[in-house]
Amino acid sequence: MRRFVLQKIAFTILALVGAATCAFLLLNFLPGDVATSLAGPQASVEDIERLRRALHLDRPLYEQYLSYMANLLRGDLGHSYRNNMPVLKIIMAAWPATIKLALSSMMVAVAMGVPIGILAAVKRGTIMDTAAMVVAFVGVSMPTFWLGLLLILFFAVQLNLFPFYGLESLSNYVLPSLTLGMGAAANIARLTRTSMLEVLGQDYIRTAHGKGVKNGRVLWIHALRNAAIPVVTIIGLQFGGLLGGAVVTETIFSWPGVGRMIVNAFGTRDLQIVQGGILVLAFTFTIVNMITDIIYAFIDPRIKY
């Protein structure tokens, strides 16, 4: 198990280096001059050159990259010249809101997806199975921004049940969590159904039924545990996807998280914040995937071999 964990950590480090490299190259190849945009239309040529030197844009690309990676190793994500604050401090102020939204959305996704998938597998070929898969198909197909607008229109405007902007109370979590969690719930339901159908057809399930074990025990103890590995995997991947999808959801619901912060930073050309925000989201996604791999290695010891 130790060797397995060390291998996963090594691959995670490589993935993080790749993510940092992509974030650096992506923003360095954007059109336009960063220093001119940050300095503003009233800035003089001297001010623009001074800012370019402060951002190290006057250096060759490889020197910029080495300086960027060295700063990352020290935990320095750069400095926002528009806000006159360290980027890491700005991101950390918004990070808890994004994590809370992702966790609440994942709770919605698991609470909806796993039972629907199990029900569809148990009732295979019936109207309940068909209805469950239709709901899952709609959940996968519907764009996040469209679902969010529909929920706002119905639950906030028409019924006035939930607020649709900001983060002031628990009721503010309802609509964003549903918006972000529905797509993940649909994916989890489909994979849970497939995995359960495969397990329910195994010989040891039929043997358990033949021994007179109650259906509920066979389902929850024998079948679900063995079907859990791909489900745990998709839950981990969906959590990372929720962090990325939070960009759209946070913008729609004025949620004070990293996604909305990145969108606003794009509008003001504050590329240090954009770069840092993308890197933090990628870092979290990669770490979650590593933890997921380790967890399902504990669930099924055969994985580590």
* Owner of token pair 């010249």: 81
Q: Which amino acid is at 126?
A: T
Q: Supply the pLDDT for residue 41.
A: 64
Q: Where in the chain is the domain with CATH 1.10.3720.10?
A: 89-304
pLDDT tens column, 206-221: 777 676 767 667 777 6
Please give the mean pLDDT across all residues of the chain: 79
pLDDT of 82 above 80 = no
Average pLDDT over every residue of 78-82: 76
Three-state secondary structure readout of the chain: CHHHHHHHHHHHHHHHHHHHHHHHHHHHCCCCCHHHHHHCCCCCHHHHHHHHHHCCCCCCHHHHHHHHHHHHHCCCCCEECCCCEEHHHHHHHHHHHHHHHHHHHHHHHHHHHHHHHHHHHHCCCCHHHHHHHHHHHHHHHCCHHHHHHHHHHHHHHHCCCCCCCCCCCHHHHHHHHHHHHHHHHHHHHHHHHHHHHHHHCCHHHHHHHHCCCCHHHHHHHHHHHHHHHHHHHHHHHHHHHHHHHHHHHHHHCCCCCHHHHHHHHHHCCCHHHHHHHHHHHHHHHHHHHHHHHHHHHHHCHHHHC
Q: Encoding tokens for residue 191?
A: 């994979």
Contacts of 105 (CB under 8 A, 6+ apart): 176, 177, 180, 181, 184, 242
| CA separation for the pair 98, 285 (Å, rounded) | 13
Contact 261, 277 (CB under 8 A): yes
* Fold category of 89-304 in CATH: MetI-like fold (1.10.3720)
Position 114 confidence tier, pLDDT thresholds 50, 70, 90: confident
Position 241 confidence tier, pLDDT thresholds 50, 70, 90: confident
Contact 113, 120 (CB under 8 A): no
Position 42 confidence tier, pLDDT thresholds 50, 70, 90: low
Global pTM reads 0.77
pLDDT of 304 above 60 = no
pLDDT tens column, 116-131: 888 888 888 888 888 8
Report the range out of 73-82, 133-142, 148-157, 292-301 with the highest average pLDDT: 148-157
Q: Supply the pLDDT for residue 193.
A: 86
Q: Supply the pLDDT for residue 143.
A: 82
Phi, psi of 85 (to 5 degrees): -145, 155
Single out the residue of 231, 255, 234, 117 nearest to residue 177, CA to CA: 255
| CA separation for the pair 209, 233 (Å, rounded) | 28
